[in-house]
Amino acid sequence: MTIGSDDIRRRGWRHSIILNMSVRLCRAEWLFALLLIASCETISPTSTIPSAPSPNFEQHSCTVPNVDATLAARMRCGTVRVPRDYARPDGPSFALSVVVIQSERKSELADPVVYINGGPGEPITVYAAAQAKTPYAPGRSLVLIDQRGTGDSEPRICPTTDRKLLDVTLSLGADGGVSAGDARRAAFDACRREALSRGIDLSNFGTRVTADDFESVRRALSIARWNLYGESYGTDVAMTLAALHPATVRSMVLDSMYPPDPRPSRATSVTAARRAFFALCDSDPSCFAAPGGLAAPTMKRKRNSPEIH
């Protein structure tokens, strides 16, 4: 789905989401500690960011892997410090990892693309080299931000259980079943206990806070308006960012939409998406025409399976 800033203002952000829908099936979901927080949050209609101090982009040398000399010349890496709690703007802060990749074109447009990745809990700046090859909008810079608590951004929420969270998530995707679900719940409960024992306030995380963090980065980079590209859970952040700061959004793309709050269960969302996907293809014979495509035995089984992981 693509939405312009006029749509955001005229129709309201929640009504705009019905314009179109892009569905991807068989998506891998890497669910780390922030899932506990983001999945339970109700979005606030207002932002507290105007009271925060002016943020700064502190540039440092790039340590992104797989970057050649040509790409390195177009890349800026650094951090932006944001309040841990926007209600206390002068209190402690977290450093967010930011990578800006300039366009290959010499005459660059002023409004960049910010890619908002999903999860929640996935890093993104570590994949900057791969992201640079994606033609989101030729002629525009690409901004990548590790959301707080992920990647190279502060804090590490539960460092001793990171591997366990990954293992149980992969197990759930591969095997499913009650035991896998119970193991994942136990791992996330352990992560929560570890975070609380380290003095981390879990109310300092969530969709609205992430949107305010992105707004802080926009201000630090002196960007007047930008184009939002949200994917999976990132669509929720993009819609929230557009709702809280509509004047800063030139356009918005929602890829593989993640339902906004109040959020249905994952099983409900996956089932609805699958039905919509196959209903669309049923109306277009060419959808099934390609050899090895949707008419293949694997896709037929997925169509009839109770859930797609």
Residue 208 has a pLDDT of: 94
**172-215 per-position pLDDT tens digit:** 555 555 577 788 788 889 889 999 999 999 999 999 999 999 99
183 assigned to some structural domain: no
Q: What is the pTM of this model?
A: 0.75
248 and 109 share a domain? yes
Contact call for residues 75 and 69 (beta carbons, < 8 A): no
174 domain residue, yes or no: no
Q: Are residues 100 and 220 in the same domain?
A: yes
Q: What is the CATH number of the domain that holds 132?
A: 3.40.50.12270
Q: Does 112 lie in the same domain as 87?
A: yes
**Co-location of 259 and 274 in the same domain:** no
18 and 93: one domain? yes
pLDDT, one tens digit per residue, over 112-140 is 999 999 888 889 999 999 999 988 888 99
Does 292 lie in the same domain as 206? Answer: no
Q: What pLDDT, on a 0 to 100 scale, did the predictor assign at position 42?
A: 39
Residues 78 and 221 in one domain: yes
Do the domain assignments include residue 186? Answer: no
pLDDT of 309 higher than 50: no
Cα–Cα dist 236/242, whole Å = 10
Same domain, 268 and 224: no
Q: Are residues 307 and 209 in the same domain?
A: no
Strand partners, 302: none
Q: Residue 13 sits in which domain range?
A: 2-157+200-263
Classify residue 189: in a domain, yes or no: no
Please check whether residue 245 lies inside any domain of the structure.
Answer: yes
Residues 269, 136: one domain? no
My answer on whether 269 and 255 are in the same domain is no
- Tell me: do 111 and 208 sit in the same domain: yes
